[in-house]
Amino acid sequence: MPRVTFTTTGALSKSDLRLGNERLVLDAIRENPTLSRADISRITALSPSTVTLIVERLLKQKLLREEQVENHAQVGRRPTALRLAPRAKVAVGIELTLTEARLVLSDWTGESLKERVIPRPGSHEVFFDKIYDSLRTILSGRSESQVLGVGVGLPGFADRVTGRVIAAENFNWAGVEAGRLLQRDLPFPFFFENSAKLAALAETWFMKREGRPLRDFVFVTMRGGLGTGVMVNGQLLQGASSAAAEFGHTILFPDGKRCACGNIGCWEQYASDLALCRNYLERSPKTRVTDAPCAETIVDRARDGEALAVAVLQETAELFGLGLVNVIMVLNPQAIVVGDFLASGWDLMEERIWTVLRSRVPSYYLAGVRIYPSEHAANSSLPGCVALVLSNYFKTFGSDSVANGGAVVIH
């Protein structure tokens, strides 16, 4: 049965409770397509008569559709199965990266309908103008009631309410008003989150490992730096100012390389895509900076047997494993999920990483920890942008937003 947590600044209205029951039913159907009314009653603990009233209301609003159950073995009337009407609601995800912005329009089942890629120009003002124009185009013809919202994956340290990027050193952004520059006159709700945390949210929302969603795990992104998103009991670890889990800026070597954040010896300087490419370039003096390969190209070259590519991948794997020791000892995760070039090149790096972990983490502490390459690989954060919108629709409701502490949350 779903667990409902009330966090509210005042009494919930009757309409709030009705909306809450509707979302409870919709979320149950989303997670378990083809449920019958009896199934919904059992899962949600709502009475059969209440479920019938809610379902009829949602069918009338064309949010659900009914299908006859095939191969029904029981005698009597065949039960009807319920599904979300796929195109009834849509959500937009926007991910900002070092080189581009990626937009996706998805329906509320998570199916991608349209995608756009916008190369990043030198000026962030021009960048946001282009994203805004593309956003208007991708939502053309959609009514305000049909659009659940826009989820934006932001780099670095950002304000989750306003979308202001306080500091994103690798982007050379400080105080960039991403939220204001994106939303402008658009009437849809906007939701903002750090991109690495969104990769973790996507794993929870869209993936099932060993038949069930992961609830206590760490997601490591390796694009434009090294980011981590941490899930604890199915919830994102945020911290006092929403800046928790910046493992990329924990210190690996106190006298090491200078990091863009201003510190010295950060893990990001040794195990990210930027570090891999820099290492390759430094070891290949005949390669011009303008011709420097990206991380995915280095993985491809290693697969083709290039000695330098193999060597830098193995060195990166060792340094990644060294930083991962701290993650495991601090968080005791159920699993670690890796994205980007580490996912696509996992078979080339896995053995070296595990060798480091087994040499430095006590066996009783390491027992049970799994490491998975993300199936989304280099596309790990963008589905999380969509999941951010969907989670705010399916999992929360009430007079105030979650950020203002006045919502009902369904787990």
Which stretch of DSSP H or E encloses residue 300? helix 295-303
Considering the domain boundaries, does residue 269 fall inside one? yes
Q: Are residue 111 and residue 36 in the same domain, yes or no?
A: no
> 263-293: string of b/e by CB count within 10 Å (b at 16+)?
eebbbbbbbbbbbbbebbbeeeeeeeeeeeb
Residues 26 and 113 in one domain: no
Does the pLDDT at position 399 exceed 50? no
> Are residues 24 and 167 both part of a single domain?
no
Q: Residue 257 burial by CB count (10 A; 0-12/13-18/19+): exposed, middle or buried?
A: middle
Average pLDDT of span 69-88: 73
Domain boundary among 84, 118, 150: 84
- Are both 138 and 244 inside the same structural domain? no
pLDDT band, very low/low/confident/very high, at 108 (cuts 50, 70, 90): very high
Predicted pLDDT at 166: 93
Q: Strand 407-410 vs strand 4-7: parallel, antiparallel, or unpaired?
A: antiparallel
Residue 398: predicted pLDDT: 55
Please check whether residue 404 lies inside any domain of the structure.
no
Question: What was the pLDDT predicted at 404?
Answer: 38
Evaluate whether residue 217 is within a structural domain.
Answer: yes
Question: pLDDT averaged over the chain?
Answer: 89
Q: Are residues 355 and 245 in the same domain?
A: yes
**Among 159, 26, 153, 146, CA closest to 94:** 153
Taking the CB of residue 213, how many other CB atoms lie within 10 A of it?
16
The predicted pLDDT at position 403 comes to: 40
CB 184 within 8 A of CB 130: no
In a domain, 322, yes or no: yes
Joined tokens for residue 392: 């705010």
Say what the pLDDT of residue 234 is.
87
Q: Are 202 and 383 in contact (CB under 8 A)?
A: yes
* Residue 2, pLDDT score: 60
Range of the domain at 46: 4-84
Q: pLDDT digit string (tens) for 23-37? A: 999 999 998 888 899
Residue 47 has which token pair?
């009475």
Question: What residues pair up with 232 in beta bridges, in sequence order?
Answer: 235
Q: At which of 40, 66, 84 does a domain end?
A: 84
pLDDT higher than threshold 80 for residue 382: yes
47, 81, 184: which is closest to 128 by C-alpha? 184
Please give the DSSP secondary-structure letter assigned to residue 173: B
Is the domain of 221 the same as that of 345?
yes
Burial per residue of 132-157, b for 16 or more beta-carbon CB atoms within 10 angstroms, e otherwise: bebbeebbeeeeeeebbbbbbbbbbb
Lowest mean pLDDT among 3-12, 284-293, 313-322: 3-12
User: What residues form DSSP beta bridges with 80?
Assistant: 68
Which H or E element spans position 280? helix 273-282
In-domain check, residue 406: no
Domain assignment present for residue 57? The answer is: yes
Pair 76, 99 in one domain: no
Give domain status of residue 403, yes or no: no
The pLDDT-based confidence of 397 (bands split at 50, 70, 90) is low
What the block records as the tokens of 191 is: 């939701």
DSSP 64-129: EEEEEPTT--SSSSPPEEEEE-TTS-EEEEEEE-SSEEEEEEEETTS-EEEEEEEE--S-HHHHHH
Q: What is the pLDDT of residues 33-61, one digit of tens each?
A: 888 999 999 999 999 999 999 999 999 99
Helices (H), 104-239: 124-138, 178-183, 195-206
The pLDDT of residue 212 is above 80: no
| CB of 298 closer than 8 Å to CB of 283 | no
The CATH number that applies at residue 322 is 3.30.420.40
